[in-house]
Structure 1
Amino acid sequence: MSGGARRVLEAWRLGVVRYGDALQLQERLVADRKAGRVGDLVLSLQHPPTYTLGKRSEKAERNLLAPEHELRTLGAELHRTERGGDVTFHGPRQAVLYPILSLRALGLGARRYVEGLESTMIEVAALHGVSARPGDPGETGVWVGDRKIGAIGVRISSGFTWHGLAFNIDPDLGYFEHIVPCGIAGKEVTSLQREVGDWVELPADEVIHDQLVRCLARALGFTDVEFKDDSGDMIRSAAIVQS
């Protein structure tokens, strides 16, 4: 990126969105980004309880520790996706970012992009006094010691990104007991609240979502963030278009 150039990341605050609706919205926005109808943006949201499998679904299926009908009794949906990674859980009080970006326009390769997602979660953890790190070889995501606090699963198509990261603020960690998270056995899952201690009051989830967005923007070379709170109609229109 040329020195001094202004590059704006548009951030849509979407609240709680069902996984299928968010997926349809991403598909539409990736097509729009490829065609130049929208600029670089990121969806900031949470999901109702949802398990997702990565594109190597046969391997990911083996890391489901309960059949799909049992997951439904927990109130959770199951989705098979085209993202990278294995099986993971999304739910309330977990911050999810789905960046829709042109890596070529940013001058970034896939590895540098993933490192940007890692550093985003590490920086936000540090803002709250928690020391996190990238995973060791073979360990995706972001870790606090041997406990995973953030997951990464991306898809890159012709240099354009979708899917993204999930950062555990204070989700119900019991849901993770029904999977081998990200296919890594013998490791715990943690959250920001667990790491700071129950006696510490974290700011509202929305504040942490915005911290993640701003850290992401810096990590990827954006100079400004423009937040939008009125994007709910886009979810509804995407669902109509895809139906």
Structure 2
Amino acid sequence: MQNVTQQTHNTSLHDTLLTKSLSAADYVSTHDAMLARTLERISLKKEQGLRTPDELWIVDHNDVYTLGQAGKEEHILQRTDTPIIKTDRGGQVTWHGHGQLVVYWLFDLDSIGWSVRNLVSHAEQAIEDVVNDCLQNSLSSISDNISAHARRDAPGVYLYADTDTVADNDAQAQNTSLDDKIMLGKIASLGFKIKHGFSYHGIALNIDCDLSAFNAINPCGYAGMQMLRLADFLTIQKEPEAQTAQHMHNSLSYEQVTQKLIDNIAKRHAGLIELRAIAPK
């Protein structure tokens, strides 16, 4: 396997939120750094009363399977050359790798007035907002009548197709329950850890990754769960310099999707986007 040097880039969004970008990141070292930073923030708050800026870590991971704190190894169907790491987040087994956008939320929940349920709902709704915006503005006919939704009974974000009856009536399509839609599969997963009111770990959105890695596991503990990626429903630029102007106008890059998600999360963190009603069961 070719060794790739990890690169880090930090950006301040505002006084109470900054981003840290990591490319070609190994899971163990990234997790250790994330935990160390969280413990440091907890200590500064408890001992000195300091509120430190919250952080979004935007991570491009090297291939890895991670098994949650209560994860069951029976959900690992096949052993491959990809490392399997036991970690301290919630949830079962999942895969991270190139082409998948991972965002870790290092938030002081008490300082921003969020409950754990608020955190999960904001995470799911931020993904819904961005994926639906990408789908609705795509010129591809594949994305017609496809929409992203969270579920109460299974954390994460899923893509649904309208039935023919619903698709014929746009007003009805906006108000229909998920029972009137056909679930296509899962496009984003999430799993958090809360320690003394501080969150870490976060979300993973499949953009243009190789989905075959999920064949070796029951994703998030669900046997037969179909995993999806955004690239199967709209054009994701792989090499922008090689694209024509018209093609670039009709497509999105990985970086553009990433920025949309960062912007949405930052607005939620600042209280500029309120939570919608929680998704139906």
- Per the normalisation by structure 2, the TM-score is 0.70
Change (3 A) 1:174 1:21: same
> Residues 128, 97 of structure 1: CA spacing in aligned structure 2 closer, same or farther, 3 A cutoff?
same
> Does residue 132 of the first structure (1) align with residue 148 of the second (2)?
yes
Identity across aligned pairs (percent)? 28
Residue 205 of structure 1 pairs with residue 221 of structure 2? no
Tell me the equivalent position of 2:25. Answer: 17
Where relative contact order (Cα < 8 A, 6+ residues apart) is larger, the structure is 1
- Structure 2 residue 64 is matched with structure 1 residue 32: no
How far off is 1:95 after superposition? 0.4
Structure 1 unmatched runs, 5+: 1-5, 224-243
Alpha-carbon distance, 1:140 to partner: 1.5
Partner of residue 235, structure 1? none
Q: Who is 1:120 aligned against?
A: 126
Matching of residues 1-243 of structure 1 within 5 Å: 8-34=16-42, 35-36=44-45, 38-57=52-71, 59=72, 61-67=73-79, 71-72=80-81, 76-129=82-135, 131-137=147-153, 139-145=154-160, 146=183, 147-196=185-234, 202-221=251-270
Whole-Å separation in 2 of the counterparts to 1:18 and 1:204: 23
Of 192-201 and 182-191, more deviation after overlay is shown by: 192-201
Given the superposition, is the C-alpha separation of residues 17 and 133 from structure 1 closer, same or farther in structure 2, using an over 3 Å criterion? same
Q: Is the 8 A contact 1:7 1:222 kept in 2?
A: no
Contact 1:132 1:144 in 2 (8 A): yes
Larger Rg computed on CA atoms: 2
Distance 1:149 1:11 in 2: 23
RMSD: 2.0
Shifted more, 86-95 versus 180-189: the winner is: 180-189
Q: Is the 8 A contact 2:235 2:252 kept in 1?
A: no
Query: CA–CA distance in 1 between the matches of 2:236 and 2:202?
Result: 28
1:145-202 deviation line (CA, Å, top 9, x unaligned)? 2310000010001110000000000110000000000011232000011122689864
Contact 2:236–2:254 (CA under 8 A) maintained in structure 1: no
Name the CA distance, whole Å, in 2 between partners of 1:19 and 1:222: 31
* TM-score normalised to structure 1 length: 0.80
